[in-house]
Structure 1
Amino acid sequence: MINRAVRMNYNTNLLELEEHMYPLVDVETPNVFHNLFPYSEVPKIAFNDRIVPHHMPDDIWITDTTFRDGQQSRAPYTTEQIVRIYEYLHRLGGPNGKIRQSEFFLYSKKDRDAVDKCMEKGYSFPEITGWIRASKKDFELVKELGLKECGILVSCSDYHIFYKMKMTRREAMNHYLSVIRDCLEIGISPRCHLEDITRADIYGYVIPFCMELTRLMEEYSIPIKVRCCDTMGYGVNYPGAVIPRSIPGIIYGIMTHAGFPSELIEFHGHNDFYKAVSNSTTAWLYGACGVNCSLFGIGERTGNTPLEAMVFEYAQLKGTLDGMDTTVITELAEYYEKEIGYEIPPRTPFVGSSFNVTRAGIHADGLLKNEEIYNIFDTEKFLKKAPQVAVSNTSGLAGIAHWINNHFRLAKEKQIDKNSELTVMVKAWVDRQYEEGRVTVVTDEELLQVIAESCKRLNLNLDE
């Protein structure tokens, strides 16, 4: 009979019975969880009601993949664009470095030039890290560039191990460990990207592999990170959901059974099922210090977790922005649209042109009386974007009055009331447009012309 050790957990101040070890389960045929992922049907979300505890770290942060995963789904950025965006990320992350790292491709001369120019900035944050093919030659390149950390792909589902790599689990593990050892030999800290973790055998492969990584850390005294990659967006945050789809279960297993500390665990989400943001927040709540994001969610297929979303998730969880400058988010959106030519969908939260624009007259009336009624927070303060009203057949007098006050930035004592002569005259013009069959929103240019003509008739000057 085996007697397992009883030890004190100083985080919970409770005695715990040491868990069983988790050896590699080297199967002959792949386990692709077709009970959860039947390819000819919509995937299943199953529950076993095994609940794991919240374990929010003292310190949490954001890491950036705009120049790596974000570049895999669009035309490559120029060196100048990368440097400019990196400067924005530095400002956005603030003096406390809440945007902790940014990863770069190192394949081409252009990639390496961008790294050199960004490193010349001398910023502590975001720290520049690499992403390379898993070869000793490329590790030497990382060292030559002066990078301390580099990402390595270690696909962990049987879909990848058996079907793509044509290996067994043991062969894949031995291959990965030899590559990671090569990285450690030259003093580079590896970041192991556990690709497709939400379709992997967590206790038969992922945990045993992570336990081997902890042994390598002890041997080399160099930190090794694990990035939990929800490559297909299958992860869910529901309490009691079964692994491998359970994000709480995955983070708990790596932390508790493989012995990884929170500061060495990251989550990387995809948005195939609209869960990238909620899953990233869940990873924080259950023990991961880092969540990996890209600006505006630009990434493979449906994209990654939007970085700007996690800035506001951080503030909601922590009750503080910890020095992050959220107004930079608007500057970045304008830079992408004007300089890079990227069109942001207008209803995108925080950055779309219509994210705080209302077209409903009853909402406009509320905004006119108190903007807190229909605005998510002080968007003027945090994003330099005051709430807007688009004028249409449903805007009403209140919507038109709000548009005038907002566009001309009228001081409170000079603001136009919804019953003013100017508002009534403009609304009469708007009503005629729709009575004659118009179906589109009135443009700013049209409104300005009508307002100018009405002001002339009323002998009114809004600029005074």
Structure 2
Amino acid sequence: MEDRKVYLDKHSNLLQLEEHMYPLVDIEKPNIFRNLFRYDEIPKIAFNDRIVPHSMPDEIWITDTTFRDGQQSRAPYSTKQIVEIYDYLHRLGGPNGKIRQCEFFLYSKKDRDAVYKCMEKGYDFPEITSWIRASKKDFQLVKDIGLKETGILVSCSDYHIFFKMKMTRLEAMNHYLSVVRECLETGISPRCHLEDITRADIYGFVIPFCLELMNLMNEYKIPVKIRVCDTMGYGVNYPGAVIPRSIPGIIYGLRIHAGVPSELIEFHGHNDFYKAVSNSTTAWLYGASGINCSLFGIGERTGNTPLEAMVFEYAQIRGTLDGMDTRVITELAEYYEKEIGYKVPAQTPFVGKNFNVTKAGIHADGLLKNEEIYNIFDTDKFLNRPPLVAVSNTSGLAGIAHWINTYFKLSEEKAVDKNSKLVKKVKEWVDAEYENGRVTSLTDEELLKVIHETCQEVGVI
């Protein structure tokens, strides 16, 4: 006790007693936490009510994996598409670079061409980084291209160490450290992707390994990042939940017991249990500066944390967008649909076709009187998407006029009112639909068809 260091914590401004060291716990048989993860049962969330403090970093940001993890789960993007999406991300991140980095594959000529073309843009943000196989040849490739940082896979659960890699923990750690040292020898900053961390032995392997990584960082004077990969989406944000499922517990352990600075911790979530967004925000709250995302959550299996979601999470917990241009999100959704052929599910928050469309008749009445009643914020201002009222038997002339004006974004002088011939004709058609037994709201496609036909009939273009 007497030899343990006392230091001032810069976030709490309280004196802290340095924790004891955590040596690697090398074991003969894997610890796969069968008490939590029985394969023939639903995984369990256990609690020990050990609470760790919030520790929001001074600065937080978003990083992007659209061209890496996002691209692993879909047809590869063309070089042109990658460059155009990179342009959108630059605009979305704003002048303060809140979208800090994009990671790229380097394996194919197409991937490398995209990297070169993006580098030609000369943007400070998003910084271009790579993801490679852990080999000296690939490290040299990163250096030759001129990148400063690369991701390296360092799987950390016993599921991976024992069953996939066929190693012991000590063998795995020594292998990883030798690979990281090779990377540092080339002058490249490694970003260590701790795969499957939410099924790993946090204090028996992860913390000792990260302590060694911090030693290498101090030796080479080159940053070593830790990416916290909730690969299977097992992480939970509940206070008092036990590790390895506790995201607060993992982030706290890395900061306090492994000595990893917040600016070198990045969380990478998956959405298998619908927790990618809440876990990502939790990682920010407990001390990770970076959150790794992909556009529209496109990624392995159920996908990654949606980038657009974290833009709005940022604004909610910081009280500002810090220069991010959220209108670009709508442009990206339109680009994906028109240029890439990806259809965003209609109910997807912020980008789905129906996300701010009111369909219930009584709700529509409220929205028409005051849009704040049923719209989450000024979606026209932040997303170039005014709220819509779906047309049904309860919409009336005013509801139909509102739908036409907002869908076509008609200016005040060109807007139709409930007395126009067009609106009256459309209402006659709508009334006939419901008199014939219809009970569902009308689709955009149906309305556009009847509006087009009515415009020709009444001479409106």
Fold match (TM-score > 0.5):
yes
5+ long unaligned stretches in structure 1: none
Deviation at 1:136, TM superposition (A): 0.6
Bigger drift between 426-435 and 407-416 goes to 407-416
1:233-382 correspondence runs (5 A): 233-382=233-382
State how far apart, in whole Å, the 1-side matches of 2:395 and 2:192 are: 53
Deviation at 1:385, TM superposition (A): 1.1
Deviation at 1:9, TM superposition (A): 2.6
State the partner residue of 2:427. Answer: 427
Q: TM-score, normalised by structure 1?
A: 0.94
Bigger drift between 165-174 and 393-402 goes to 393-402
8 Å contact from structure 2 (residues 426, 451) kept in 1:
no
State how far apart, in whole Å, the 2-side matches of 1:201 and 1:378 are: 45
Could you say if the C-alpha distance between residues 129 and 422 of structure 1 is closer, same or farther in structure 2, counting changes exceeding 3 Å?
closer
Could you say if the C-alpha distance between residues 118 and 18 of structure 1 is closer, same or farther in structure 2, counting changes exceeding 3 Å?
same
Could you say if the C-alpha distance between residues 420 and 444 of structure 1 is closer, same or farther in structure 2, counting changes exceeding 3 Å?
closer
State how far apart, in whole Å, the 2-side matches of 1:58 and 1:178 are: 33
State how far apart, in whole Å, the 2-side matches of 1:455 and 1:319 are: 50
Question: Which amino acid in 1 is paired with 2:357?
Answer: V
SS at match of 2:193: strand
SS at match of 1:192: strand
Aligned CA-pair RMSD: 2.1
Deviation at 1:318, TM superposition (A): 1.0
Match of 1:445 among 438, 445, 448: 448
Deviation at 1:436, TM superposition (A): 1.6
Question: Which amino acid in 1 is paired with 2:276?
Answer: A
State how far apart, in whole Å, the 2-side matches of 1:249 and 1:176 are: 24
Question: Which amino acid in 1 is paired with 2:25?
Answer: V
State the partner residue of 1:20. Answer: 20
1:136-285 correspondence runs (5 A): 136-285=136-285
State the partner residue of 1:411. Answer: 412
State the partner residue of 1:104. Answer: 104
State how far apart, in whole Å, the 1-side matches of 2:435 and 2:244 are: 57
8 Å contact from structure 1 (residues 426, 450) kept in 2:
no
State the partner residue of 1:87. Answer: 87
Could you say if the C-alpha distance between residues 21 and 126 of structure 1 is closer, same or farther in structure 2, counting changes exceeding 3 Å?
same
Q: TM-score, normalised by structure 2?
A: 0.94
Cα offsets for 1:223-280 (capped at 9, x unmatched): 0000000000000001111000000000000001000100000000000000001100
State how far apart, in whole Å, the 2-side matches of 1:190 and 1:296 are: 27
8 Å contact from structure 2 (residues 296, 306) kept in 1:
yes
Deviation at 1:14, TM superposition (A): 1.9
Cα offsets for 1:128-187 (capped at 9, x unmatched): 001100001110000000000000000000000000000000000000000000000110
8 Å contact from structure 1 (residues 255, 262) kept in 2:
yes
8 Å contact from structure 1 (residues 37, 43) kept in 2:
yes
Deviation at 1:370, TM superposition (A): 1.2
State how far apart, in whole Å, the 2-side matches of 1:18 and 1:414 are: 68
Question: Which amino acid in 2 is paired with 1:21?
Answer: M
State the partner residue of 2:59. Answer: 59
Cα offsets for 1:175-213 (capped at 9, x unmatched): 000000000011000000000000000001000000001
Cα offsets for 1:11-42 (capped at 9, x unmatched): 32222222111110001100111111110011
8 Å contact from structure 2 (residues 153, 193) kept in 1:
yes
Identical counterparts, % of pairs: 77
Bigger drift between 151-160 and 16-25 goes to 16-25
State how far apart, in whole Å, the 2-side matches of 1:201 and 1:318 are: 33
Deviation at 1:381, TM superposition (A): 1.1
Could you say if the C-alpha distance between residues 110 and 369 of structure 1 is closer, same or farther in structure 2, counting changes exceeding 3 Å?
same
State how far apart, in whole Å, the 2-side matches of 1:203 and 1:270 are: 23
State how far apart, in whole Å, the 2-side matches of 1:420 and 1:15 are: 73
Deviation at 1:393, TM superposition (A): 3.3
| Matched positions, count | 457
SS at match of 1:134: coil
